[in-house]
A and B are shown apart, each in its own frame.
Chain A
Amino acid sequence: AQKITQTQPGMFVQEKEAVTLDCTYDTSDQSYGLFWYKQPSSGEMIFLIYQGSYDEQNATEGRYSLNFQKARKSANLVISASQLGDSAMYFCAMRGIYNQGGKLIFGQGTELSVKP
């Protein structure tokens, strides 16, 4: 079975500093996709970044980068130059070909608070 683990229920970061949110995964699939979503208190799930299992380069999108270490089965999200608007819940998620019809599996989330 596939599983996503986010071990940091809550984190604090100072404005303008970088922060790393941890995500490890477990799967027997060879082909899978890893996703990070941001959910502010308003409720909307905002897609941030995607990494495919066969992608050799780490994904980057603006201030977001994904530190993908396939052998360690980790897909950590790095946010550079944190902003107050980055305060939110962050979910790591995965989809695999043989997993339950390609269901998106979420971790438990990390609540990030950015301090001024």
Chain B
Amino acid sequence: DTEVTQTPKHLVMGMTNKKSLKCEQHMGHRAMYWYKQKAKKPPELMFVYSYEKLSINESVPSRFSPECPNSSLLNLHLHALQPEDSALYLCASSQEGAIMETQYFGPGTRLLVL
């Protein structure tokens, strides 16, 4: 059983909507990640938070806005998305963000933008 949870499992939104994806981990990890994954492709890194501070932004459009309220929670705020943003959004966490650490993933949110 995964110890990284994500809500909602599925989300359908219009291009003018504002919605949020939520991620929570219960492993005491201090690094958290957002990935975007298109069908039959590998995940692409979007953001990394380390000790609640944004450490990596992979040039993601501003319509995606991450937030880390505390070390256990990670949000991804969505606004004015495009249909091409439809994808599986995966959250992951690791102990401290070090190179050799394993990242543990949540079950993902399947997003459809109409």
User: A and B: real partners?
Assistant: yes
The CA-CA distance from A93 to B97 in the complex, in Å, is 16
Q: Which of A31, A43, A97, A108 contacts B41 (CB 8 A)?
A: A108
Q: Does B53 interact with chain A (Cβ within 8 Å)?
A: no
Q: How large is the interface on A (under 10, 10 to 19, 20 to 34, 35 or more residues)?
A: 20 to 34
User: CB-defined interface of B56-78 with A at 8 Å, one 1/0 digit per residue?
Assistant: 10000000000000000000000
Closest residue to B110 on the A side, CB-wise? A43
Q: Which of A31, A42, A103, A106 contacts B56 (CB 8 A)?
A: A103
The CA-CA distance from A5 to B108 in the complex, in Å, is 25
Total interface residues on B, CB under 8 Å, equals: 25
In the complex, chain A residues whose CB is within 8 Å of the CB of B99: 31-33, 95-97, 102
A45, A47, A97, A106 interface centre (most CB from chain B within 10 Å): A45
Interface residues of A in 37-83 (CB under 8 A from B): 37, 42-47, 50, 52
B48 and A107 contact, CB distance less than 8 A = no
A109 and B105 contact, CB distance less than 8 A = no
B107 and A42 contact, CB distance less than 8 A = yes
Q: Does A114 interact with chain B (Cβ within 8 Å)?
A: no
Closest residue to A95 on the B side, CB-wise? B99
A101 and B55 contact, CB distance less than 8 A = yes
B42 and A44 contact, CB distance less than 8 A = no
Q: Which 10 A-B pairs have the closest CB atoms?
A: A106-B42, A45-B105, A43-B108, A44-B107, A33-B100, A102-B99, A95-B99, A97-B99, A43-B88, A47-B102
Interface residues in chain A, defined as those with a beta carbon under 8 Å from any beta carbon in chain B: 31-33, 35, 37, 42-47, 50, 52, 89, 91, 93, 95-97, 101-104, 106-109, 111
15 A–B contacts, CB within 8 A, in A order? A33-B99, A35-B103, A42-B107, A43-B108, A43-B110, A44-B107, A45-B108, A47-B104, A89-B40, A91-B43, A95-B100, A108-B41, A108-B42, A109-B40, A109-B41
Known: A101-B55, A109-B41. 9 other contacts (CB 8 A): A31-B99, A33-B99, A35-B102, A44-B106, A45-B43, A96-B99, A107-B42, A109-B40, A109-B42
